[in-house]
Amino acid sequence: MKTGVFMLNISRRGVVAAGFAAALGLNSRLAIVGAAQAQPAPDAGKGFYKYKIGSVEVTALYDGVWKKPHDPAFIKNAGIDETKEALAKAGMTADYVPIPLTVIVLKIGDKLVMIDSGSGVGQWQPTAVSLPDNLKGAGIDPAKIGTILISHFHPDHIFGLMEKGSNAPNYPNAELVVSATEYKWWTEPGRVEKLPEGRKPLGARIQAAFPTWKNFRLVDGETEVVPGVRLVNAPGHTPGHSAFLLASGNQQLMISNDVAYVPALLAPHPEWQGAYDQDGPLAVETRRKLLDRVISDKMAICGAHFPFPGAGRFVKDGAGYAFTPVQL
Do the domain assignments include residue 238?
A: yes
Do the domain assignments include residue 26?
A: no
**At 324, which helix (H) or strand (E)?**
strand 320-325
H helix count then E strand count, the chain? 9, 14
The backbone torsions φ and ψ at residue 55, rounded to the nearest 5 degrees and listed phi first, read: -95, 0
Domain range for 235 is 46-313
For residue 256, what pLDDT band results from cuts at 50, 70 and 90?
very high
Do the domain assignments include residue 39?
A: no
Q: What is the pLDDT of residue 70?
A: 97
Q: What is the pLDDT of residue 12?
A: 32
**For position 218, which CATH number holds?**
3.60.15.10
Contact at 8 Å (CB) between 312 and 105? no
Do the domain assignments include residue 14?
A: no
- Using the predicted structure, report yes or no on whether residue 283 has a pLDDT greater than 70: yes
Residue 313 per-residue DSSP state: E
Do the domain assignments include residue 320?
A: no
More confident residue, 17 or 265: 265
Q: How far apart are CA 38 and CA 272, in angstroms?
A: 19
Q: How far apart are CA 132 and CA 120, in angstroms?
A: 9
Total domains in the fold of the chain: 1
Q: How far apart are CA 219 and CA 216, in angstroms?
A: 10
Do the domain assignments include residue 152?
A: yes
- Tell me the mean pLDDT in the region 88-93: 93
Do the domain assignments include residue 252?
A: yes
Q: What is the pLDDT of residue 328?
A: 78
- Using the predicted structure, report yes or no on whether residue 36 has a pLDDT greater than 80: no
Cα 32 from chain centroid (whole Å): 23
Cα 6 from chain centroid (whole Å): 18
For residue 184, what pLDDT band results from cuts at 50, 70 and 90?
very high
Number of Cβ within 10 Å of residue 242's Cβ equals 30
Contact at 8 Å (CB) between 106 and 255? no
In a 10 Å sphere around its CB, with 0-12 CB exposed, 13-18 middle and 19+ buried, how is residue 206 labelled? buried
End-to-end CA gap in the chain: 21
Torsion 229-235-236-237 (CA) sign: positive
pLDDT in tens, 299-311: 999 999 999 999 9
- Using the predicted structure, report yes or no on whether residue 200 has a pLDDT greater than 80: yes
Q: What DSSP letter does each residue of 125-138 carry, written as one string?
A: -TT---HHHHHHHT
For residue 285, what pLDDT band results from cuts at 50, 70 and 90?
very high
Do the domain assignments include residue 204?
A: yes
**At 205, which helix (H) or strand (E)?**
helix 200-209
Q: What is the pLDDT of residue 22?
A: 31
pLDDT in tens, 100-153: 999 999 999 999 999 999 999 999 999 899 999 999 999 999 999 999 999 999
For residue 326, what pLDDT band results from cuts at 50, 70 and 90?
confident
Q: What is the pLDDT of residue 1?
A: 28
For residue 321, what pLDDT band results from cuts at 50, 70 and 90?
very high
